[in-house]
């Protein structure tokens, strides 16, 4: 326990504040027992510093004395002996470190841990009055109208999209792991824990550890290769499970409800047989197409989460799964080099394709080409007026992957700011709107900077290279991280190259790191200078020597003089650069804030003109 707390300083030890309400666990899961307990009010201050926003979203108030909480006690933690326990403790630290960083209304927060429920630390979470989705549908399903079911599914998708944006795979999405609040709101719990237990027990015990969840799990998770290595959960397997949760939410029936024994379900999975279509008229043809697409046996053929969210936002429409079949080219002929990329991880070429001149960007630091190709294709399905679309994927003669994009006639933001007259508010609004849309589709840009913001000749903003840096970043060794970022480090959140979770795991690129980069872009618009231009451009030793003596909490571009910029802009930049990611504004709120500010200035000008 002491090692866990010392390695995770933000983790609260709530042992002295917790009291059991019964002699026995209230509920039992596949790998844990759940105890209903009370939490003394004095412990709320450290908790609300991390999850206070979650309370507000779910309309929960701080009690005057005691409140109910759930204590989750893991029953199995791998091989016996010192080595097994050490491995368990290390893995648990990593999972809890990730959980502590996750902050979203549809993700159940971690309050802290306690030490007196078993041989290992146990986790303390909010107590959800309505139980889980299984309980809720059983007790109130007959009273739940169609819109209420859609609301639950939208909330489940929002939570899952947030996890995926943080490079977190749930791995055990079931009705049991969708807690429901007193107000009927859904969130996600137990992401990663089932996978942790299964990994520690070994692949041979995968079925027993998953238990009844076999009814929700993707069939590929039960495929064991010749070397007895189990397939790990992926975002694709999460989509399969999401389809099963959608079926249950609409009908109130678990997948394969007509099969009593889990072994029978495994046989069906091995045959590639999905759940039968229910006779309930609530499963319309459009909804059945959605479910069948989620249960596609070929994982990359499943729809993207964005496509599912799009259907749930417009349920009267017809569901058409977004095709992942972007053309994959292997014989495109390079015409001429456009320029030497500012980042060393990418080469940029101009080439003819399908009667047009296109831009081909080839990545030089990638491995695991098959998985990367699927991720590129998934990102490439996004279409919007403020995004430069991906036309195709490419593999050159050296085996390196890349993407094909249309050639945009216009300027990068860097040239645009220097050469074209545009109002300050208009500059901020164009960029904020594009990034806000990208986040609304649950895509992290990951590389927002002056080169990746393009302005067409007609004045339309388009964000380029979206989704590429997260793919590169998570496959780059720590020793190569500066090579991957190149000069992009000027705009990037320093936690990505200075911060580590639990001293070992690099943080993921998230919406919050995009917001930091937006603040850096605003800084450049204000000053017409790149961030750190005076600090680094004259430093022949390169970027890394500048980092000495800094942490991700203190490393920021030089402060602007107050007389050179308005107080409102200073506050906007500082809010984007807040150390606490939870304190940073969303792009949606920034977009609204800038629009309101611009409208106020316009109205003020009109009033002056009429005087």
pLDDT in tens, 483-528: 666 667 788 888 877 765 445 556 778 889 999 999 999 988 888 8
Please compute, for residue 18, the number of CA atoms within 13 A of its CA located in the half-sphere on the CB side: 26
Assess contact for 460 and 413: CB atoms under 8 A.
no
The closest alpha carbon to 382, from 299, 318, 458, 467, belongs to 467
User: E-assigned strands of 422-508?
Assistant: 453-456, 461-463
The reply to whether 425 and 543 lie within a common domain is yes
Q: Is residue 399 a part of any domain in this protein?
A: yes
Q: What's the pLDDT score for residue 535?
A: 64
Query: Can you name the residues that pair with 363 across neighbouring β-strands?
Result: 346
Say which residue, 138 or 92, is predicted with more confidence: 138
Say which residue, 19 or 87, is predicted with more confidence: 19
Tell me the residue range of the domain where 106 lies.
1-127
- Give SS3 for 527: helix
- The secondary structure of residue 234, as a DSSP letter, is -
Per-residue tokens: 516: 């930091």
- The secondary structure of residue 390, as a DSSP letter, is -
Q: Is residue 202 a part of any domain in this protein?
A: yes
Query: Can you name the residues that pair with 498 across neighbouring β-strands?
Result: none
Say which residue, 323 or 127, is predicted with more confidence: 127
Q: How many CB atoms lie under 10 A from the CB of residue 259? A: 17
Identify the helix (H) or strand (E) that includes residue 395: strand 392-395
Q: Is residue 271 a part of any domain in this protein?
A: yes
Rounded Cα distance, 61 and 331, in Å: 62
The reply to whether 547 and 519 lie within a common domain is yes
Instruction: Give phi and psi for 339, each to the nearest 5.
Output: -165, 170
Say which residue, 594 or 607, is predicted with more confidence: 594
Instruction: Give phi and psi for 353, each to the nearest 5.
Output: -155, 125
* End-of-domain residue from the set 322, 348, 369: 322
Q: How many CB atoms lie under 10 A from the CB of residue 86? A: 12
Say if residue 396's pLDDT is above 60. Answer: yes
Q: What's the pLDDT score for residue 176?
A: 92
Strand 453-456 versus strand 356-363 pairing type: unpaired
The closest alpha carbon to 218, from 201, 234, 240, 196, belongs to 240
Say if residue 360's pLDDT is above 70. Answer: yes
Rounded Cα distance, 501 and 344, in Å: 26
Assess contact for 102 and 163: CB atoms under 8 A.
yes
CATH number of the domain where residue 230 is located: 1.10.510.10
The reply to whether 113 and 236 lie within a common domain is no
- The length of the chain, given as a count of residues: 611
The reply to whether 339 and 318 lie within a common domain is no
The reply to whether 162 and 279 lie within a common domain is yes
The closest alpha carbon to 216, from 195, 199, 239, 198, belongs to 239
564-583 per-position pLDDT tens digit: 667 888 889 999 999 888 88
pLDDT tier for residue 292 given thresholds of 50, 70 and 90: confident
pLDDT tier for residue 206 given thresholds of 50, 70 and 90: very low
Q: How many CB atoms lie under 10 A from the CB of residue 82? A: 8
Mean pLDDT to the nearest integer, 232-251? 94
The closest alpha carbon to 444, from 483, 474, 419, 416, belongs to 474
The reply to whether 426 and 457 lie within a common domain is yes
Farthest-apart Cα atoms in the chain, separation: 84
178-188 per-position pLDDT tens digit: 999 999 999 99
Per-residue tokens: 169: 């795979």
- Chain-centre distance for alpha carbon 548: 31
- The secondary structure of residue 118, as a DSSP letter, is S
Strand 356-363 versus strand 346-353 pairing type: antiparallel
The reply to whether 255 and 307 lie within a common domain is yes
Q: What's the pLDDT score for residue 80?
A: 56
Per-residue tokens: 584: 């940073």
pTM value surpassing 0.85: no
Tell me the H-state helices in 26-145: 44-57, 82-101, 133-140
Rounded Cα distance, 247 and 510, in Å: 30
Average pLDDT score, the chain: 76
* End-of-domain residue from the set 127, 146, 161: 127
The reply to whether 88 and 197 lie within a common domain is no
Instruction: Give phi and psi for 148, each to the nearest 5.
Output: -60, -35
- Output the DSSP codes for 128-163: -TT-BHHHHHHHHGGG--HHHHHHHHHHHHHHHHHH
The reply to whether 257 and 187 lie within a common domain is yes
Q: What's the pLDDT score for residue 405?
A: 84
The reply to whether 97 and 185 lie within a common domain is no
| Residue found by looking up tokens 């979770």 in the block | 501
Say which residue, 107 or 421, is predicted with more confidence: 107
Q: What's the pLDDT score for residue 64?
A: 46
The listed range with the strongest mean pLDDT (309-323, 464-478, 537-551) is 464-478
* End-of-domain residue from the set 351, 376, 406: 406
Rounded Cα distance, 484 and 506, in Å: 14
CATH number of the domain where residue 72 is located: 3.30.200.20
Q: Is residue 610 a part of any domain in this protein?
A: no
Please compute, for residue 178, the number of CA atoms within 13 A of its CA located in the half-sphere on the CB side: 29
**Core vs surface per residue 532-563: b (16+ CB within 10 A) or e:** beeebeeeeeebeeeeeeeebeebbbeeeeee
CA distances to 242, 244, 464, 469 from 343, rounded to whole Å, are: 37, 42, 14, 11
Q: Is residue 609 a part of any domain in this protein?
A: no
Tell me the H-state helices in 329-411: 369-379
SS3 breakdown of the chain: % helix, strand, coil, rounded to 5?
A: 45, 15, 40
């Amino acid at each position: 326990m002491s090692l866990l707390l010392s390695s995770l300083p933000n983790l609260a030890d709530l042992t002295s504040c917790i009291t059991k309400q019964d002699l026995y666990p209230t509920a039992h899961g596949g790998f844990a027992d759940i105890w209903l307990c009370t939490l003394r009010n004095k412990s709320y201050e450290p908790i609300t510093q991390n999850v206070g926003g979650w309370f507000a979203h779910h309309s929960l108030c701080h009690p005057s004395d005691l409140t109910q909480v759930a204590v989750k006690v893991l029953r199995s933690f791998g091989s016996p002996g010192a080595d097994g326990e050490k491995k368990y403790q290390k893995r648990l630290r990593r999972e809890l470190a990730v959980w502590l960083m996750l902050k979203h209304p549809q993700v159940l927060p971690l309050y802290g841990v306690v030490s007196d429920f078993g041989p290992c630390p146990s986790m303390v979470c909010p107590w959800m009055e309505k139980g889980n989705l299984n309980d809720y549908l059983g007790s109130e399903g007959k009273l739940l109208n169609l819109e209420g079911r859609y609301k639950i599914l939208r909330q489940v998708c929002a939570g899952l999209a947030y996890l995926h944006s943080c490079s977190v795979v749930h791995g055990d999405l079931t009705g049991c792991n969708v807690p429901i609040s007193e107000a009927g709101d859904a969130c996600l719990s137990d992401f990663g824990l089932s996978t942790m237990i299964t990994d520690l027990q070994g692949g041979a015990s995968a079925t027993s550890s998953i238990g009844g969840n076999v009814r929700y799990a993707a069939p590929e998770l039960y495929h064991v290769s010749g070397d007895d290595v189990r397939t790990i959960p992926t975002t694709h397997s999460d989509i399969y499970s999401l389809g099963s949760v959608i079926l249950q939410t609409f009908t109130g029936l678990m997948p394969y409800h007509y099969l009593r024994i889990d072994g029978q379900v495994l046989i069906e999975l091995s045959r590639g047989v999905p759940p039968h279509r229910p006779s309930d008229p609530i499963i319309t043809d459009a909804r059945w197409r959605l479910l069948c697409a989620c249960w596609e046996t070929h994982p990359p053929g499943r729809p993207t989460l964005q496509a599912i969210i799009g259907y749930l936002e417009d349920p009267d429409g017809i569901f058409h799964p977004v095709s992942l079949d972007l053309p994959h080219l292997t014989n495109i002929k390079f015409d001429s080099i456009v320029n030497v990329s500012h980042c060393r991880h990418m080469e940029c070429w101009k080439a003819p394709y399908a009667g047009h001149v296109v831009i081909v960007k080839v990545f030089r630091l990638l491995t695991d080409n098959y998985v990367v190709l699927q991720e590129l294709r998934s990102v490439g399905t996004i279409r919007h007026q403020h995004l430069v679309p991906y036309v195709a994927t490419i593999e050159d003669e050296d085996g390196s992957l890349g993407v094909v994009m249309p050639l945009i006639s216009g300027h990068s933001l860097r040239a645009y700011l220097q050469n074209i007259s545009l109002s300050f508010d208009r500059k901020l609004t164009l960029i904020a709107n594009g990034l806000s849309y990208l986040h609304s589709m649950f895509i992290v840009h990951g590389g927002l900077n002056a080169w990746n913001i393009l302005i067409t000749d007609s004045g339309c903003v388009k964000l380029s290279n979206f989704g590429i840096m997260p793919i590169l970043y998570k496959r780059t060794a720590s020793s190569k991280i500066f090579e991957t970022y190149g000069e992009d480090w000027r705009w990037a959140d320093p936690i990505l190259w200075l911060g580590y979770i639990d001293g070992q795991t690099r943080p993921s690129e998230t919406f919050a790191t995009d917001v930091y980069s937006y603040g850096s872009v605003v800084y450049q618009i204000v000053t017409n200078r790149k961030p750190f231009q005076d600090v680094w451009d004259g430093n022949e030793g390169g970027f890394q020597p500048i980092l000495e003596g800094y942490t991700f909490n203190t490393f920021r571009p030089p402060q602007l003089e107050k007389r050179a910029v308005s107080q409102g802009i200073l506050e906007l930049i500082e809010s984007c650069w807040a150390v606490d990611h939870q304190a940073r504004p969303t792009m949606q709120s920034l977009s609204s804030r800038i629009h309101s500010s611009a409208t106020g200035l316009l109205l003020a000008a009109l009033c002056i003109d009429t005087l």
